[in-house]
Structure 1
């Protein structure tokens, strides 16, 4: 009985040692950065930002006009009028800050929304290449600290080829 368990245990350990993993790497941020679609996303994001900026500029101009008018006519105002105007200016300033904060958040949300299809396309392409080449894991090289990466397991070029993305020419 003990010999059967020992044989089964040895067979199990042998099977584990035979099962090998194949790990690849990819620079996904590089690929996203050179995709033609990424340039379109950046243009759309900048257009959206310009629209937000124009709205912000209008509100900022109203605030500046209100402050300038208050400073110009401050001597003519009574105490109650000064307090009321200072309160209005303070409220406008807070609204301006909120508008700016919301604008930044909206810009980030818009960019994420526009980039999502690119990341989905990249992920499905990585998955297809990993299955074709029998990789068990693909690690991204951006943001990770690797002591050593063998270049022959880097699938960045394979993904670029499958997506039809060309490496930009280096201008001297």
Structure 2
């Protein structure tokens, strides 16, 4: 009976070892793949254009604010404004300053939203290509090279993923 149990345990160990060695691992350099994709270059260009446009608008708002602030200071020093007029002008400038702050926050949120909108389909396309390569070549796991501490060159499937993406 003990021999039977030992034999059974030995068979289980052999089966587990065979299963573990049958697993196939690979890795990709996703940063390199992203850099080579024309869609990624177009998305980056689009985002850069939008960012410059929004920054230009923000800079114009700040420039106008600074000009008006300096004009208010000059008028106050010359004594051409009453204290009440100075308070009203200062209050208007404070409202504009808050508008500039709100614009900057909105600008950042808009850029993040646009980035997500442009990059999501690109990431989905890459993930689908990786999944297709894994299924076609029997890989159970494919890791990103950036988180990999060690990997044999022969397990780099980046070229297959690039081919799947038409690069």
Normalised by the length of structure 2, the TM-score is 0.85
Alignment of 1:6-155 (within 5 A): 6-19=6-19, 20=21, 21-74=23-76, 75-142=79-146, 144=147, 146=149, 148-155=150-157
* Alpha-carbon distance between aligned partners in 1 of 2:148 and 2:26, rounded to the nearest angstrom: 15
Task: Say if 1:80 and 1:2 are closer, same or farther in 2 by CA, change over 3 A.
Answer: farther
Task: State the 1:155 CA deviation.
Answer: 0.7
Secondary structure class of the residue paired with 2:151: coil
- Deviation, 1:150, is 0.6
Matched residues in 1 for 2:7 and 2:118: separation? 57
Aligned residues: 163
Aligned-CA RMSD value: 2.0
Q: Distance in 2 between matches of 1:5 and 1:66?
A: 91
Judging changes above 3 Å, is the alpha-carbon distance between structure 1 residues 82 and 5 closer, same or farther for their aligned structure 2 residues? farther
In structure 2, the gaps of 5 or more residues are none
Q: What is the distance in 1 between the residues matched to 2:162 and 2:127?
A: 12
- Displacement of 1:84 in angstroms is 2.9
Deviation at 1:4, TM superposition (A): 4.3
Query: What do residues 131-161 of structure 1 show as CA deviations (whole Å, max 9, x unaligned)?
Result: 111111111112x251x22111001111112
Structure ranking higher in helix proportion: 2
Q: CA deviation at 1:108?
A: 2.1
**Secondary structure of 1:138 counterpart:** strand
Q: Deviations over 1:92-122 (max 9, x none)?
A: 2222122112212211221221011111111
Unaligned runs of 5+ in 1: 166-172
- Which piece of structure 1 moves more, 110-119 or 52-61? 52-61
Aligned residue number for residue 168 of structure 1 = none
Secondary structure, counterpart of 1:77 in structure 2? coil
- Which range moves more in the overlay, 30-39 or 55-64? 55-64
Shift of 1:34: 1.2
Q: Distance in 1 between matches of 2:71 and 2:8?
A: 90
